[in-house]
Amino acid sequence: MLSPTTKRASLLASGAAVAGLLLSSLAGGVSYAADNESCRPDGLYKTPGVDVPYCSVYDTEGREKMGADHQRRVIGYFTSWRTGKNGQPAFLANNIPWDKITHINYAFAHVDGANKLSVGTDGPNNASTGMTWPGVAGAEMDPAYAYKGHFNLLNKFKKQHPDVKTLISVGGWAETGGYFADNGARVNSGGFYSMTTNADGSVNQAGIDTFATSAVDFIRKYGFNGVDIDYEYATTMKDAGNPLDWSFANGRRAGLVKSYDALMKSLREKLDTAGAADGKHYMLTVAAPSSGYLLRGMETYQMQKYLDYVNIMSYDLHGAWNEYVGPNASLFDDGKDGELAAANVYGSSQYGNIGYLNTDWAYHYFRGSMPAGRINIGLPFYTRGHKNVQGGTDGLWGKATAATCPVGSGLTKCGDGASGIDNLWHDKDDAGKEAPAGSNPMWHAKNLEKGIVGDYVTQYGFPANTTLTGTYARKYDSTLVAPWLWNAEKKVFLSTEDEQSVAAKADYVVDRGIGGTMVWEMAGDYDWNAAKGQYEMGDTLTSLMYDKFKAATPYGAKKSNKALPAQAVNIETAFTEFKLGDSNYPLTPKVKITNRTNTTLPGGTEFQFDYGTSAPANASDQSGFGTKVISSDHTGSNVGGLKGDFHRVSLKLPAWQSLAPGATIDLAFNYYLPVSTPTNWTVNISGTTYALAGDLGRGTTVVEPGTGTTPPTTPPTTPPTTPPTTPPTTPPTTPPTGCAAPAYVAGQVYNAGNEVSHNGRKYKAKWWTQNEAPGTTGEWGVWQDLGAC
C-alpha cells in the first residue's frame, strides 16, 4: 500500500428535482410535511416518494445529533494499512480516541473490476475483514460478527460509543482510478473514471447503478452509517489527479462533472430508499478539493445538494509537486504566496487580489451554496516540505527546484522534496525509490523540533545511531495561521500543525458556525511519552478540538443569513455550458431559467441570488439582463480572511421578454474565480417575492404564483391531518416548564429586545425577525442565546 499522504496529495494544487420534498399540492400550495421532513437539513435533496428517516440522525432544526458534548464534528480518517504487521507502529481501533471524535472515515475501499464497492477478497491477510491481532490488548475480536479485521473492531467499539458514526471511504489518491489487488499490485482498471463515464464522455449509468447498489449492500453487511466518496478528481482540468489515471481520465474530461453528479444522485436515492426500509438515515459525504485550480474545472459543484456534508481537503495546498515553498494548509492568505504571485493572481484586477490556496477561501467557496454546518474543514496531521530551499523568510515563500522528478509523477518540472529522516512516511516511486515529499506524522515532526531521535526510527529503515543535522527551529506566521520547521543548515522547510494552529482553526470553526473538522489521519496525532522522552502517536490535537467544540453554540443550519420567503415557486435555474479545462477562464456559463409554473412571468420580473465571496464582486452578463452585484459581504483582497459569505446579485427579464409556462431563457454569465452553485434565489412576480423550490429550503411551501396558500378542496390522503394554513396569532399562554419568557411562535414578528423561550433556553432578538427559530441562527445571527431557563 502507498502511504496516506500520496493518497491524498494533489499534483495540481497550483494551478432539481423538487418533487417529493414536500407532499404538496401545487394548485393550492399547502404542504403536508411528514414528521421526518421537519428534520431534513436545509438544502438537502430528498428522494421523491421516499419517507427518509432524517430524524434518526438530525434534530428538528436539521442539525446532526452527535451527543451532548459534541456540538461540532471531529471526523477522523482511520487507515487500513497501519496494522503493525510490517514492524512499524500500529494504529488499531483500540487506539482511536473514541470519546473525542464524532465520525470515523475508514480508508479505503475501492471500485473493483465489476464496478462494485470492495475491500478485496476475504481472508486472514485482509486487514479490513480477516486479520487478527493475537495478544494485543483491546484488539480482541467480537464473536458477534461473522467477519474479523478492522471492521469487527470498529463495530465492537461502536457498541460502547453509539454516538460515533462510521463511514466507508471509497477511492483516495491511489485508488480513484484503480485498486490494489490482493497481492498488493495496483490494477489500473479505471475506477471511478470508467465506472461513471464511458470512453466517449457519456454517463455510464449502468456502472453507476451497479456501484450504488453494491454500496448499500456493503454498509448493511458491515454496519457502516454511510458512504464517503473520495474521488480525486472529477474535474475538467487536464492532467489532474494521479498520473497513473490520466489514460482513463483525460479522454473523459468533458463528461466527468455530469457523471459525478449522476453518481451522487444515484447514491443519494439508493441510500434514501434503503434507509426508509431500515428505519435509519444513511449518510452520503465526500472529500472535496480545496484548490481553486481544481474547483475551476468542477462547474459549480452542483452535486452538493445530495450530500449530508462536505469534507474540504484543505491541505496539500503547497508541496513538492512544484518548486514553490509554502504552508501545507494555511488558514488564510497573506498576499505573498509565491505560486499565486507567479500566476499574477495578485496583479490582476479581475481576480480581485483574492488568493485561493488557503482554507478560508475553500470554506467560502462551499459556503456559497451550503449551510455552514454542512461543511467541515480539513486538517493535516502530517507534514509536507522541501529541501535545498533558496530565498524566502526562513524558507517561507522561497523556491526549491528538483533536478529530476520522481519516476511516474508525470511531471517534467517539480519541487525538491525533503527526504531521509525528514520524510519518515515516504512513498516509493515506480522504480522503488523514495519519493521525496517531506512527509512525516506530526509526532515525528515534534521530535525533530525538540532535537530527539525517536526509538522508532529503526522501524522505518534508519540505524539506531541516527543523529540529526542542524536545528529544526519552529516558526509561525499569525496571518497565515501556519507553523513550520526551518533547518537553516540543511535548508529544509517542513510545514506542520500544532496546538497553536489547531486552536486557531478550531476557534475559526466555532466563530463561523462551521460544522466541524476532518482530520487526515488520526495516526499522525501526538502525545509526549515521558518514560521514553519522545513524542509518539496520541490525541493531543484531537483532544484540543474536542475541548473547543463541546462548549460551542450549535452550528449554522441555514444557507441564507437572512430570512427568505416561506412560499416558493417552481422556477428552475441551472448553470450550464461550461468551457473545459484551461479554456474556462474567465468562467462564462449559461444561466438557464425555466418557468415550471402555470403563470407567465412578465418582462421586468426580477430575480436575485447569492454567490460566495470566493469570487470577487464583479459578476456580470452579456445578455441584456442587467446583472449586477447589489450588495457584498466582502470587498478587497482576502489577506487575513474573507469578511463575509455572500455577494447579492440582481437580474431582470428584459422589458420586452416575458417567460411563458414551460419556456426557458438563458443568459451568458461571467465571473473570474470559482463559486459553488449560487443559492438563496428569490423572484418578484407582480409585486410578491417568492423563494425558488430548487433551493430545497426547509419549511418552504411550493405555491402557484398569485394563489397564496389556500388549501386544496380535497387534501391528500397522506398524511390525513391537514396542518393549519396560518400560524397562531398569539403565543401559547403557558411557556415551557422553567421558562419565564413566552414561547417562540413560528410566523410571529419579533423586534429588537423581544425575549422568548424555545427548547428549554431563553433568547433575545437583536433586530426584527420572522420565521427564524431560536437556536438556528448561531451567535452571529438574530437570536442571542441567554442560556438555559
Query: Is 22's pLDDT higher than 70?
Result: no
Query: Is 286's pLDDT higher than 80?
Result: yes
616 in a domain, yes or no? Answer: yes
* 626 and 760 part of one domain: no
Last residue of a domain, one of 451, 473, 496: 496
Question: Are 422 and 494 in contact, with CB atoms under 8 Å apart?
Answer: yes
* 687 and 784 part of one domain: no
User: Which residues are CB-neighbours of 690 under 8 A, at least 6 positions away?
Assistant: 565, 567, 568, 569, 682, 683, 684, 703, 705
Query: What does the mean pLDDT of the chain come to?
Result: 90
| C-alpha cell of residue 638 | 482576502
* 670 and 757 part of one domain: no
* 658 and 753 part of one domain: no
> So what's the pLDDT on residue 781?
65
Q: Where are the alpha helices (DSSP H) in 146-304?
A: 149-160, 191-196, 205-222, 246-249, 253-278, 292-296
Q: What is the mean pLDDT of residues 648-676?
A: 95
786 confidence band (pLDDT: 50, 70, 90)? confident
pTM of the model: 0.86
Question: Are 622 and 600 in contact, with CB atoms under 8 Å apart?
Answer: no
Query: Is 19's pLDDT higher than 50?
Result: no
Condensed to tens digits (0 to 9), the pLDDT of residues 471-516 reads: 999 999 999 999 999 999 999 999 999 999 999 999 999 999 999 9
Query: Over the Cα atoms of the chain, what is R_g?
Result: 26
H/E/C letters for each residue in 446-490? HHHHCCCCCHHHHHHCCCCCCCCCCCCEEEEECCCCEEEEEECCC
* 393 and 328 part of one domain: yes
* 742 and 681 part of one domain: no
Question: Are 687 and 605 in contact, with CB atoms under 8 Å apart?
Answer: no
Last residue of a domain, one of 450, 477, 496: 496
Instruction: Say which range, 15-19, 159-163, 640-644, has the weakest mean pLDDT.
Output: 15-19
7 in a domain, yes or no? Answer: no
Query: Is 227's pLDDT higher than 80?
Result: yes
The CA distance from 195 to 179, in Å, is 13
> So what's the pLDDT on residue 727?
36
* 596 and 665 part of one domain: yes
User: How many domains, in total, are found in the chain?
Assistant: 3
34 confidence band (pLDDT: 50, 70, 90)? very low
706 in a domain, yes or no? Answer: no
Query: Is 466's pLDDT higher than 90?
Result: yes
User: What is the DSSP secondary structure assignment for residue 396, as one 8-state letter?
Assistant: B
> So what's the pLDDT on residue 498?
98
* 737 and 636 part of one domain: no
12 in a domain, yes or no? Answer: no
765 in a domain, yes or no? Answer: yes
The CA distance from 206 to 198, in Å, is 10
* 431 and 488 part of one domain: yes
Of 468 and 28, the structure prediction assigns the larger pLDDT to 468
The CA distance from 144 to 262, in Å, is 37
Handedness of CA 147, 153, 156, 162 (dihedral sign): negative
675 in a domain, yes or no? Answer: yes
* 674 and 736 part of one domain: no
Question: Are 764 and 743 in contact, with CB atoms under 8 Å apart?
Answer: no
* 334 and 471 part of one domain: yes
Which CATH number goes with the domain that contains 394?
A: 3.10.50.10
Q: Which residues pair with 592 in a beta bridge?
A: 574, 666
* 331 and 452 part of one domain: yes
Condensed to tens digits (0 to 9), the pLDDT of residues 538-559 reads: 999 999 999 999 999 999 999 9
Which CATH number goes with the domain that contains 576?
A: 2.60.40.290
User: Which residues are CB-neighbours of 510 under 8 A, at least 6 positions away?
Assistant: 72, 548, 549, 552, 553
Cis peptide before 41 (omega within 30 of 0): no
507 in a domain, yes or no? Answer: no
Tell me the percentage of the chain whose pLDDT exceeds 90.
81
Q: Tell me the three state secondary structure of residue 592.
A: strand
Last residue of a domain, one of 695, 716, 747: 695
Amino acid at 662: G
582 in a domain, yes or no? Answer: yes
Structural domain for 770, as ranges: 727-789
Which CATH number goes with the domain that contains 783?
A: 2.10.10.20
